[in-house]
Amino acid sequence: MSDNAAHLSDPEPDGILSRVPYARTLSDELADELGRYRQLLDCVQAIVWRGNAQTFQFTFVSPYAETLLGYPVQRWLRDPAFWREHIHPEDRDWAVHFCAKATREKKSHEFDYRMMAADGKVVWLHGVVHVLVEDGQASELIGIMIDITEKKQAEEALRRGEDRLRKVVDVIPQQIWSCAPDGTLDFCNERWRSELGLTLEEGQGDGWQTILHPDDRQRVLTDWHESVTNGTPYEQEERHRMRDGQYRWFLSRGVPLRDSERQIVRWYGTNTDIDDQKRAREALQKSERRWRGVFDNSKIGVALQDSSLRYVDANAAFCQIVGYRLDELQKMTCLDITYEEDRERYKAIIKELTSGKRNHFDLEKRYRRRDGELVWSRINGSSVGTADSPLWVVMAEDITKRKRLADELHHERDRLQLLLDLNHRFISKLDVREFFHALMDGIRLMAGWQWASILLPEPSSDRLSVYLSSDNSYLREGYTLPIDGSLQGKVYRSAKPVAFRIEDLPGLCPVYRDNDWMQQITNAEHVRAGCALPLIHEGRVIGVLFLMTRVALDPVKSDLNFLQELASLVTATLHNSLRFESVNESRAKLLTEREYIESDFLRERGIADIIGDSPGIIEVLKQVRAVAPTDSTVLITGETGTGKELIARAIHGRSPRHDHSFIKVDCAAIPASLLESELFGHEKGAFTGATTQKPGRFELADHGTLFLDEVGDIPLELQPKLLRVLQDHAFERVGSNRLRQVDVRIIAATNRNLETMVETGKFREDLYYRLRVFPIVIPPLRERAEDIPALVRHYVENYARRMRKPVTEIPAEAMETFVRYPWPGNVRELQHFIERAVILSPGHTLDAPLAELTATIQRIQAAYEKPSRHGTLREIEREAILQALLESNWVVGGPHGAAAKLGLRRTTLSSRMEKLGISRPRR
């Protein structure tokens, strides 16, 4: 139960209890009753509220308000204008008007309106307002707000659907109508009204009967009344009088719609204009006697189609070509038996014919016979009808055998062309992946191989690894197979190709007899056959090319000669590419490492040795000397600016790896979307913008040290991959399945409390303990003030030399101020302050801007020595931070976060929160 809900039980001097004489004697019972009401309000999935009838300021709001709209309940109670300001602008005036009207009339009201939720969404609410009247005046308003967003969205969707449906019905190129269960017309679409010249009112009752041709009227009415009486579908050819007074033939259909009890609730029907077809059939009957003999006895297939492309007639030769009887063809259109891949081209020709752009055609196309076989035909056709009733005569010749011979010649030519193209790529390209894709495109197009993979032996292993694979293959890149027991391993050992059908695999390799692999692949991908070819270079098998297809090929008829020629090209390209890839990758790694180290050297050129002899620094250096000779993972913690990177470099410099690279990764400075690529590298084309292959920081740090600065900012989804590298010393580049081994020492640093992050689920516990093998905590500068004079002298000397200034003397007052100042930014802040002081110093004496440091020191002393009326400095600081966090909804960073409101950096505020024990409360 939230605090505001407790208002229900607060005793009020002028409340209800004071007007009941025996109320105090029943206080315990009333408290129990109010407790039950509070529990009830907590469970109600609606906003229950109470407010002032005059100002509309809420005095009570149930906790569900925060669940539904996202605003804290205290904002409802604290801000008098909160409710008005968060009503949707379009609903604000009349919603307020309704509440005012309820107050004025002292009556309850209900209304729907919208409010803006905290996340910007619009929420529909059904509000019920009830007025409490006291002494004849409206004293309070009570009410409830119910979420009806889904209902409103459904109503809007239904309205749009009805509008769309009406528009669709009006543009349908048919006359659409509906009737009541007794057959009375109650709807007709725009085409019905415009073509027949009747309005809906004129067509109701017996009015629609006036459009019927006198010779058809009795027949139509008899059949219609019989359908209405028996509830059977209606279908009839009939003549209707059009707007211009002419009669046209229509095919009228009507079907009943029944409810769950099989009672007719409505009739729906269509009128389709068939006048042109009727006239065409009449014309055809007149001319049929003149050409029937020639038509039936022709050796060339001849067919007749009407304007709807339906077959009207066909001779025996045509029926034999397409494999259908005449009665079957008369129920079909020419597109029904046209091969699927030829339909679009044929539709384009039909469109030109029907539009009058041509009256003749001559082309080659394929028919799908009734038995499923494809037959090639050369067809030509021309118009034999009238403009009002066109008919098309089509003559077809079976050219399947001729096309088969031509296809075989083309196929042979394409195979030779493929070999020529691949040979050209082999000569001009060293990219085996590009060559493999070209090979895949060629064999998929010409030979029907849907899957291909190249397998290479793993070094010092008895397994084959998939080096390259087509995207749709079940053998993914990086997948491994045993050499002994697999078909690919058999080909690798024997150096002999094997063509097979899926059902032959158990006989070729006994391992498949009790393995469900064959059944899984067969069912999932419909694989029917395959081929495995050895890749032989200079008499030695260097890999296997594995192909599979959905076509049930006969291994005896497989073109192994052609495939072996392809395998030879693959072998040569693969051999050269692997050598080039190895040399090029080593060269790229060296160049990248050199560029990184050079830039890193320039960036860190001004860093001095570790300075200080305080107990805290002596302890840190003792730990550095102890852990440096080992390969253990080190976790360095401390506030921002304490010199964590300097300690990491000291560990590397004193380790056996000091002759190798020290690679730094600032995990907080790299966007989360790019951090994985930065750490592990990526392959060309792995993502948008990856135009080249790039090694990651782990590869650059191989045999050296990798420094993960701000490790607490690594995204949670990337932490498992980092853990894997720490445990197995292996990783995969982005966009690659190839496993790469590295020998890298990890040093991590952070200014965040990783233990707290582990507790809140923001950092993996296993990764934390894997990093925290040897923890080193660097004390802040304020805890080792005795080191400040040495640091000041060092930085003064360093910057004076770099800026060529004669600054050599440091005033005692300045040094005392430096020692007293708390340096929240630690050594980094001190370094930058001294640099600025050297710049401002015109002579031999350091002229530091001490005023700003002195003001801070005095402010801190005054706060601690003289507690304010509001509490100590620590309490004031804690209160200010909590207020900023509440105003920013516990967002720490960003332009609107608490750090920006307080004028602090995000890391500084996080550190202060940890010291003051501030954490976001759990709900």
The count of C-alpha atoms lying within 13 angstroms of the C-alpha of 681, restricted to the half-sphere facing its C-beta, is 26
> Looking at residue 777, what is its pLDDT?
92
* pLDDT tens figures, 422-474: 565 544 555 667 767 776 776 776 667 788 888 888 866 688 888 888 776 66
> Looking at residue 247, what is its pLDDT?
93
What gap in Å lies between CA 142 and CA 552, rounded to an integer? 78
> Looking at residue 11, what is its pLDDT?
41
Which pLDDT band, with edges at 50, 70 and 90, does 15 fall under?
A: very low
User: What tokens appear for 678 in the block?
Assistant: 């930065």
Q: Tell me: pLDDT of 287 over 50.
A: yes
What gap in Å lies between CA 36 and CA 30, rounded to an integer? 10
Q: Tell me: pLDDT of 558 over 60.
A: no
Which phi-psi region, left, alpha or beta, contains residue 330 (left: φ > 0; alpha: ψ -120 to 50)?
Answer: alpha
Q: Which residue has the higher pLDDT, 205 or 66?
A: 66
When pLDDT is averaged across residues 687-713 and rounded to a whole number, the result is 86
> Looking at residue 54, what is its pLDDT?
80
What gap in Å lies between CA 604 and CA 873, rounded to an integer? 38
Least confident window among 251-265, 387-401, 517-531, 778-792: 517-531
Q: Tell me: pLDDT of 795 over 70.
A: yes
Q: Tell me: pLDDT of 920 over 60.
A: yes
Token pair 């040979």: residue: 423
Helices 644-653 & 615-627 angle (0-180, nearest 10) = 40
Q: What Cα–Cα distance (Å) separates residue 453 from each residue in 437, 471, 527, 532, 702?
A: 11, 10, 15, 10, 31
Q: Tell me: pLDDT of 760 over 70.
A: yes
Q: Tell me: pLDDT of 21 over 70.
A: no
> Looking at residue 521, what is its pLDDT?
65
DSSP state of 686: S
What gap in Å lies between CA 237 and CA 216, rounded to an integer? 9
When pLDDT is averaged across residues 735-747 and rounded to a whole number, the result is 86
Token pair 């530091």: residue: 848
> Looking at residue 681, what is its pLDDT?
87
When pLDDT is averaged across residues 396-407 and rounded to a whole number, the result is 82
Which pLDDT band, with edges at 50, 70 and 90, does 19 fall under?
A: very low
Q: Tell me: pLDDT of 839 over 80.
A: yes
What gap in Å lies between CA 891 and CA 897, rounded to an integer? 5
Instruction: For residue 178, count other CB atoms closer than 10 A to its CB.
Output: 16
What gap in Å lies between CA 645 and CA 314, rounded to an integer? 90
From 53, 56, 42, 45, select the one nearest 8 (Cα to Cα): 42
Contacts of 786 (CB under 8 A, 6+ apart): 612, 613, 614
For every residue of 527-584, which 3-state class applies, written as one string?
CCEEEEEEEEECCEEEEEEEEEECCCCCHHHCCHHHHHHHHHHHHHHHHHHHHHHHHH
Q: Which residue has the higher pLDDT, 208 or 389?
A: 208
Residue 483 bridge partners (DSSP): none
Token pair 């505020």: residue: 909
Instruction: For residue 330, count other CB atoms closer than 10 A to its CB.
Output: 13
Which pLDDT band, with edges at 50, 70 and 90, does 27 fall under?
A: low
Least confident window among 149-153, 388-392, 623-627: 388-392
What gap in Å lies between CA 454 and CA 575, rounded to an integer? 12
Q: Which residue has the higher pLDDT, 864 or 285?
A: 285
User: What tokens appear for 375 in the block?
Assistant: 């037959």
Residue 398 bridge partners (DSSP): 377
* pLDDT tens figures, 75-124: 888 888 888 888 999 888 888 888 888 888 888 888 888 999 999 899 99
User: What tokens appear for 186 in the block?
Assistant: 């109650």
Q: Are 169 and 176 in contact (CB under 8 A)?
A: yes
User: b or e along 417-445 (b: 16 or more beta carbons within 10 Å of the residue's beta carbon)?
Assistant: ebbeebeebbeeebebeebbebbbebbbe
What gap in Å lies between CA 826 and CA 843, rounded to an integer? 27
Return the H-helix or E-strand segment holding 443: helix 432-446
What gap in Å lies between CA 356 and CA 388, rounded to an integer? 12
Q: Tell me: pLDDT of 695 over 50.
A: yes
User: Which amino acid, 377?
Assistant: S
Q: Are 233 and 254 in contact (CB under 8 A)?
A: yes
Q: How far apart are the first and last CA of the chain?
A: 13
Most confident of 133-137, 440-444, 494-498, 772-776: 772-776
> Looking at residue 598, what is its pLDDT?
42
Least confident window among 203-212, 262-271, 407-416: 407-416
* pLDDT tens figures, 236-259: 999 999 999 999 999 999 999 998
* pLDDT tens figures, 520-531: 666 667 778 888
From 145, 8, 149, select the one nearest 83 (Cα to Cα): 145
What gap in Å lies between CA 379 and CA 366, rounded to an integer? 10
The count of C-alpha atoms lying within 13 angstroms of the C-alpha of 111, restricted to the half-sphere facing its C-beta, is 19
What gap in Å lies between CA 218 and CA 224, rounded to an integer? 10
From 892, 888, 870, select the one nearest 879 (Cα to Cα): 870
Mean pLDDT rounded to a whole number for the chain:
81
Are β-strands 705-709 and 662-666 bridged in parallel, bridged antiparallel, or unpaired? Answer: parallel
Q: Rg for the chain (alpha carbons), in Å?
A: 44
Q: Which residue has the higher pLDDT, 249 or 919?
A: 249
When pLDDT is averaged across residues 385-412 and rounded to a whole number, the result is 76
Q: Is 364 helix (H, G, I), strand (E, B) or coil?
A: strand
Are β-strands 705-709 and 392-398 bridged in parallel, bridged antiparallel, or unpaired? Answer: unpaired
Q: Tell me: pLDDT of 596 over 70.
A: no
> Looking at residue 24, what is its pLDDT?
47
From 38, 87, 33, select the one nearest 64 (Cα to Cα): 38
When pLDDT is averaged across residues 634-651 and rounded to a whole number, the result is 91
Least confident window among 376-390, 400-414, 772-786: 400-414
Q: Are 391 and 306 in contact (CB under 8 A)?
A: yes
Checking 507-513 for CB contacts under 8 A at 24+ apart, the result is 509/485, 510/485, 511/485, 511/486, 512/487
User: Which amino acid, 126?
Assistant: H
What gap in Å lies between CA 634 and CA 645, rounded to an integer? 12
Which pLDDT band, with edges at 50, 70 and 90, does 18 fall under?
A: very low
Q: Find the farthest-apart pair of alpha carbons in the chain and give their distance in angstroms, rounded.
A: 129
Q: Tell me: pLDDT of 866 over 60.
A: no
